[in-house]
Copies of this chain bind each other. A is one copy, B any other.
Amino acid sequence: MTDFATWTRAAQTRIETALARALPAADLEPARLHAAMRYAALGGGKRVRPMLAYAAAEAVGPGNDLTVAAACAVELIHVYSLVHDDLPCMDDDDLRRGKPTCHVEYDEATALLVGDALQSSAFEVLAEAGASAEMVVLLARAAGSRGMCGGQAVDIASTGRTLDLTELEFMHIHKTGALIRAAVLLGALSCGALSGDRRAALEHYAKCVGLAFQVMDDVLDAEADTATLGKTAGKDKAQGKATYLTLMGVAEARDYARGLVDDALAAILPFGDAARRLAEIARFIVERQY
């Protein structure tokens, strides 16, 4: 059995190759749009969502081509959301994954279309691999107004005011949690139908991991520097955004994240050693420095 670092690198290479193949060539017309889509999607990112999809597939059965498509699809949705989130009318950021953001490197109109087209390509990739209607619905709901987009809307509305823990978690469960849940479930469903128990266990794992990921994002935004993060550090505070650190101290936040990861690990115990990668990803989330 390879160690986690080796497994991670292999998964990242696999997703990079699959995304590079899924996206239209940079010289295909309209070439500027296609080049910008590749600029936004390729060559960077932790690829946490694809890794979760691969790991969930390993937990329930051998992965297959549909697993790769599911991993690509969730990452394409994630990348599109970053491109739109960085636009001037949203977070107005100019650095992402250590590079100029898409609208800085190209222009706003192109970045808008890049996000739009990447969302379409997520559904294209998933359905081309023969996804069931259930899987398409799952991705669409995770991406839409009762999922990721809804979380973004709450995030915008909450800027400048203090949220309590319930409100903050409502936001995160939508903004990042919904797509993390979709990554885990789509990865598992790519191997076939899931029993109710197994599905519930994976959903609980995904919920805890998603929240822990967000808590640590807030900690790292406050503690790490811009070079390490590859995106502008300290932005949450500067923008008056509600974060876990407005509700608790750094040490308390780290403890809270560790508790969530323990819950996640408990949820996947019934899968035994097949869930080893899911467990390793959960642990990585509280230990990561970027």
- The residues of A with any CB-CB pair to B shorter than 8 Å are 24, 28-30, 32-34, 37, 80-81, 84, 87, 89-90, 107-110, 112-113, 115-117, 119-121, 123-124, 126-128, 130-134, 136-137, 139-141, 143-147, 149-150, 152-154, 156-157, 170
Question: Given B116, B128, B144, B152, which contacts A121 in the complex, CB threshold below 8 Å?
Answer: B144
Question: Given B109, B124, B131, B150, which contacts A117 in the complex, CB threshold below 8 Å?
Answer: B150
Question: Given B33, B87, B140, which contacts A153 in the complex, CB threshold below 8 Å?
Answer: B33
Task: Report the separation of the CA atoms of residues A231 and B94 in the bound assembly, to the nearest whole angstrom.
Answer: 34
CB contacts (< 8 Å) of A28 on chain B: these are 146
A87-B112, A150-B30 in contact; A120/B144 too (CB < 8 A)? Answer: yes
Interface of chain A: mostly helix, strand, loop or mixed: helix
CB contacts (< 8 Å) of A108 on chain B: these are 89
Contact, CB under 8 Å: B110 / A149 = no
Question: Given B29, B33, B130, B157, which contacts A149 in the complex, CB threshold below 8 Å?
Answer: B33
Task: Report the separation of the CA atoms of residues A34 and B145 in the bound assembly, to the nearest whole angstrom.
Answer: 7
Contact, CB under 8 Å: A128 / B124 = no
CB contacts (< 8 Å) of A90 on chain B: these are 109, 112
Q: Which residue of B lies closest to A30 (CB)?
A: B153
